[in-house]
Chain A
Amino acid sequence: MKKFLAAIAVVAILGGCSTQPSAPVDDQSTAAAAAAAAKSGTTTSGATTSGISGSSTGTGGNPLRDPNNVLSKRSVYFEFDSFVVEDKYKAMVESHAKYLAGNKAAKVTLQGNTDERGSREYNIALGQKRAEAVKRVMVLMGAQDVVIETVSYGKEKPKREGHDEAAWAENRRVDIVYFGE
């Protein structure tokens, strides 16, 4: 089901659809996460990678900034109370891991975030755990431990203000930020 939703979200973006996908959903937060991900332009890496990676090479620009390159995708979204890096983000995370492995000067900070509910300090720890989950995937995929710093903003820097599931889903997030950006 999640893959189905993710696929729809990708189709919506690739097709320039201006409306949200309306699919049968079994879980409101999953749908909202997909919607939020679609809105922020940082969605399901698997499909995005396979569809686009070949076309970005002729530009000669910074691959990190090239909107057609998967490396421009920087956010991993999480379910409520979850630290699991979902499969749909693995290809994107792997691309960053490979970039780090191949560019010795490159360093990243993984910034963990949570939604607004609950203790501020405990949310710092939750965001940290999310950042460390993404780091673990990157290290497994070949990135050096020392070039990745994991930090947490907890609920202190919401990307999207609001008190509904759509805002919460967008704020349960790890951002990949390259040193110097």
Chain B
Amino acid sequence: MSPRTDQKNYVSIFRPLRHALAFATLALLTLAPVRAQLTIEIVGGAGTAVPIAIVPFDGEPAGPTSISYIVGQDLARSGLFKLVDPSGVSPRPVRIEEVQAPAWRAKGADAVVVGSAKPLADGRVEVRFALVDVVKQAPLVAMVYAVTPAQFRATAHKIADVIYEKMTGDPGVFSTRIAYITKQGPRFQLLVADADGNDPQVIVTSNEPMLTPRWAPDGMRIAYVSFESKKPVVYVQNLATGSRAAVANFRGSNSSPAWSPDGRTLAVTLTKDGGSQLYLMNADGSNPQRVMTSSSIDTEAMFMPDGKSILFTSDRGGSPQIYRLPLGGGAVERITFDGSYNVSARPFPDGKGFAFVRRDGGRFQIATQDFASRQVQVLTPGPLDESPSVAPNGKLILYANEVGGRGTLAAVSSDGRVKQRLVSQATDVREPAWGPFPRP
């Protein structure tokens, strides 16, 4: 657990943005042309958000570093919860049995979170919380943690994950991390931060571009492409030690790393034998094997969650489209058909569909497609949306866009209803990558 005390280093913060949402909605309504029949356009905002009251925990000083405050911020930011002001209910409940449902129903809350933080003799703090459904008047979950003050933020994210899962049925992603690349003047940096943008840590600084950060499934290594030797070379860096190795540094260009689900294999695009072609290699770069021979561009490989096939981008049909290659043998199958530019496929964790980038006229947009129905759903208005990265629970898609000529990050729920943007200071931000669930 890393210390999370430096509050001055905020680089970016998720914020649900009503104005941006209204604008995006307007843009879609006025600018989107009529599209092929299988495409559904989302023009509405978030539907119903669960009203939930987070009562300040007993024994905690109030303020933005308190656990209960961070829990509330996490939940509100997801777009699926609406915070109900807990003030005015007296006495303030701390335990399940002290929650008086009628008082909370009167304030409009469907659920209430109570808790406490009590110092222990060994210097740690005992953090308790409970979630109560005040509609059904039933406790939903209660837990206790013994943590150091440095672990307060992580504990708050864990509590938010538990509440999110109880209320929505899906695991929360508040305890996960993200990676992204910034450009400030001539300087490029690869950073890792908590999913809420807190605790950003620079892991690479370079005067040459970097792109395509990809988390290993263990969350301990990141593969990326760096131009520091005046050409694209694929590196794998260990996050614990900072040590790294060039795993693909062949003649020509080396790019587009992707991890197999077991973390043992990397798919990469190499040009050493002519043309951009797909190879599989061990995660240390040994034993590169070409997976297929084509006279076209084949790149942007991503493993399906079961590891049995890869999605990739190819121009073999005349325009860039997404294809699927079974790794156990079998024919390559074209997956996208709607439009002349469909690239950057990112499978959802349930394997039923994928997020990707489509071009519609001159606009690049984030969309999803279902494998079975081939139904395409456009999630973002463009015009320069790229590099989607799916959260490990499949519910949010982080992506890069451009606002006022500057690269910024944004997120959209995979149903298109919730839109977030990641605000940053005066720097160009790009290439977001959502990390895996933390290992227990």
Contact = CB atoms under 8 A, between A and B. Distances in A.
B199 interface: no
B172 interface: no
Contacts of A163: 405
A96 interface: no
B424 interface: no
A129 B296 CA distance: 9
A122 B320 contact: yes
Contacts of A119: 300, 313, 320, 343-344, 357, 386-387
A126 B275 CA distance: 10
A120 B431 contact: yes
B307 interface: no
B300 A118 contact: no
A136 to B, nearest CB: 10
B231 interface: yes
B437 interface: no
B224 to A, nearest CB: 12
A117 B431 contact: no
Interface residues of A, number: 23
Contacts of B343: 118-119, 122
Interface of A is mostly: mixed
A62 B192 CA distance: 48
Interface residues of B, number: 36
A121 B211 contact: yes
Contacts of A121: 211-212, 255-256, 269, 299-300, 313, 344
B227 A120 contact: no
Contacts of B275: 128-129, 132
A129 B276 contact: yes
A124 B253 contact: yes
A30 interface: no
B274 interface: yes
Interface in B258-300: 269, 271, 274-276, 297, 299-300
A85 B275 CA distance: 16
Interface in B144-197: none
B209 interface: yes
